[in-house]
Chain A
């Protein structure tokens, strides 16, 4: 899932400063799961902003809160219609997608990001999340024993390990496992070490044509029943 982290309070305070009436908008999907922007965090941030106002003594913001099931789908955004009329800005705790979706839907409204969308990953345990996928668009996990070198190797190299590997750890940090040692061990266990012996030509991520789009629907044909490929 998408993993995000709430922004520091001082940054949020600077962002909302110009606006009098602010709606704090949570999202009930990924950012709820990673504890960054669900209903619970919306209310916490709401309270934190109130403490800030009290402390600064110029409490002028009128804050409100609401959490949508998902901010990245237009149909859910319809539910906001009555709620954004009297606000000057929306502070969205959704990932970057949600922020853009809200902004696109309510064009007159400034939409401020309350979280830093960090990565795609999974929890290690309660309260700890790890990155797992870089969305490179050309998945090679079949050859790497199900371990992504692009995200889990510090250097993202496709033909590892590099010379910096030491006792299974990465030279960049003693704490960090060397992804390529893990890949080796996994492939050994799977009796697929020969995939290590292959050379993978380097990929230039800069040439990924952005923004990417996936089209799953086909252009339907005419009355003759023909369906385009």
Chain B
């Protein structure tokens, strides 16, 4: 296997994105935080330009089952997003959700060829197992998935409730896998690894999850009417309708507890309570889901825990005790301490315990277990104590997240392939350096504040009725507006070579974010962790010493301009009008996108990623290429960056002075921007401009004729 790509996905030893030559960008915090290291900055940027299908391609390159993540990912990326230091993090998951929902299955190309003979068995079909099978198939191995349940998906199917992950979504993603030629054995609980090896499997990947509910260790815990959360959810998800009665309490503060409580509501239980022994601040459950649960009428009882359960007259008598928070433990979490004499009684019909799960590897597997019955593996090779037997996912980590399981599955595929090809497994290489460091207060101050664009959620009363999906998706405009908020961390400007810098300090003076600095030696530095990649200094530097860190950004406008000019020359368009037009927001995509198509013939658009990057030189070159009129179209007040219009106006003024000196009408160069309310009368203004240019052109032709 070469280290390049197989079937379009990244394979081999490095699972992090490959570094393009001359790419000096750093990995942004969102990507570092994502266990799959998805190229978030890239797909968010593509979304902001309305290039949704390309965004979807980037998403699919980095994630085998993106629509699953788009629904249920715990989005550690958002927690790390640096926009959070300014106002609120980018709603990365919602942007992804929009992209996958918009693109649907159109980008799916599930073919995979078998190029190896060694068969691999995957035990368990949770996200870890599915991901491993997917990547092993892509690498060309024959793969069989063994699943104890009747359907594939693991916790995705039997844990996570349908209102958060609609089953059609899961089925579509699983269908992709089966159509890649993965052999599926459901209702097949593996009890012996030896048997698998005897059957000819050369490697085994154990991803049996963590399904065994933990016990509270209190009296009466095994009474009828007490059920553990994971089991309860499994029953509901498998189509059973456990009858719970009217009053139910759920014990626990994690996502499973909240899911169980909300599921109970949807089953028609009148009164649902969640008992949690710490306070709201310590709750591990997702903040947003806790408030949604409250909206659905679920009561949160903090600092309380059951101490005894008794069954009496068909009811449960549950004794609870109040807690207070004591000293933080080794992990920094404050420990709950019972308050003596604070016992109280709850009369319930059912008690659901959701205080955690543990893996349950049969002893017959012969794999070494560690803390909390997790399977012990080598962190680099992912091997267990048995040769050819690998493990990953919740079974190794204890209950974790879907995205961590996916990452483990992907890594395992590489490791298993290394093993089967007798390759020494290389430690994961980081393709790009990570961006570290917080934004300085001055930088934060200067960044335009644009709050998060919220998506709609179905009203609480409606959603508590059934298991219909509750998150509604962004519409086009909102998704694009949200994506534009991204700060493009780590892809900003750098001084190409200090030697070129004349230390003129222009960059210090023009940067809207006060990023460039003089160091003690008197050299100019552009701290990569502060730069917002607006490109103003790149254009203004009189020594041309500054470039953007991403190679693609460097000559983007030149390339596009050359292309437009070539096309125009070929088609002999007259009079030629060239517009440098921002690709973000409304222009790239929204109501203004169609404007150019409708506009009078002969208008050629050079797409630019923010008009702040258009140089006076570019405008001149457009004239030089034969344009009779040139315009710049930007987002005006809607621009997500600072001072863009000011700089465009400076450059336009300069070029107009030059035009005047050449006896060309300065009005041949125009600047159009949207207004606060939308595009204003942009269409008419553009049309009027094109008409005026037409008149000027005719006049000049006439004069030439006369001169002849």
Contact = CB atoms under 8 A, between A and B. Distances in A.
Interface stretch (B243-251, B361-369, B541-549): B541-549
Nearest to A69: B499
B542 to A, nearest CB: 4
A8 B621 CA distance: 19
A43 B617 CA distance: 7
Contacts of B626: 54
A48 B659 CA distance: 8
Interface string B668-695: 0000000000000000000000000000
A33 B501 CA distance: 10
Nearest to B506: A126
Contacts of A168: none
A52 B620 contact: no
Contact of B624 (A9, A34, A50): A50
A145 B312 CA distance: 98
Query: How large, as a class, is the contact surface on chain A?
Result: 20 to 34
Interface in B503-530: 503-504, 506, 509-510
A206 interface: no
A127 B540 CA distance: 11
B616 interface: yes
Nearest to B509: A126
A38 B503 CA distance: 12
Interface in B551-567: none
B620 A47 contact: yes
Interface in B529-543: 541-543
A77 B502 CA distance: 18
A47 B621 contact: yes
B542 A39 contact: yes
Contacts of B664: 51, 55
A2 B236 CA distance: 81
Nearest to B545: A39
Given A9-B662, A48-B662, A51-B620, A32 B542 contact: yes
B661 interface: yes
B616 A44 contact: yes
Contact of B661 (A10, A39, A40, A50): A10
A32 B510 CA distance: 16
Interface of A is mostly: helix
A47 B504 contact: no
Contacts of A123: 509
A38 B502 contact: yes
Given A47-B621, A54-B624, A54-B626, A40 B662 contact: no
A29 B510 CA distance: 19
B457 interface: no
A54 B544 CA distance: 26
A55 B626 CA distance: 9
In the A-B complex, the 4 residue pairs with the closest CB atoms: A38-B542, A33-B504, A9-B661, A47-B620
B578 to A, nearest CB: 13
Interface in A4-62: 8-10, 28-29, 32-35, 38-41, 43-44, 47-48, 50-52, 54-55
B620 A48 contact: yes
Interface residues of B, number: 24
B596 interface: no
A180 B626 CA distance: 54
Interface of B: 500, 502-504, 506, 509-510, 541-544, 616-617, 620-621, 623-624, 626, 650, 658, 661-664
A52 B661 CA distance: 9
Interface in A86-134: 123, 125-127
Given A32-B543, A39-B544, A44 B620 contact: yes
Tell me which of A34, A35, A40, A54 has the highest count of chain B C-beta atoms within 10 A of its own C-beta. A40
Tell me which of A32, A35, A54 has the highest count of chain B C-beta atoms within 10 A of its own C-beta. A32
Contacts of B542: 32-33, 35, 38-41
B658 A48 contact: yes
B64 to A, nearest CB: 47
Contacts of B662: 9, 48, 51-52, 55
A205 to B, nearest CB: 31
A39 B542 CA distance: 6
Contact of B543 (A9, A38, A50): A38
A25 B511 CA distance: 28
A33 B502 contact: yes
A126 B616 CA distance: 17
B661 A29 contact: no
Contacts of A38: 502, 504, 542-544
A48 B500 CA distance: 24
Contact of A35 (B500, B506, B544, B658): B506
A37 to B, nearest CB: 9
A94 to B, nearest CB: 13
Contacts of B624: 47, 50-51, 54
A204 B266 CA distance: 100
Nearest to B659: A51
A28 B502 contact: yes
Interface in A165-185: none
A32 B502 contact: yes
A181 to B, nearest CB: 29
Nearest to B626: A54
A28 B661 CA distance: 26
Tell me which of B510, B542, B658, B664 has the highest count of chain A C-beta atoms within 10 A of its own C-beta. B542
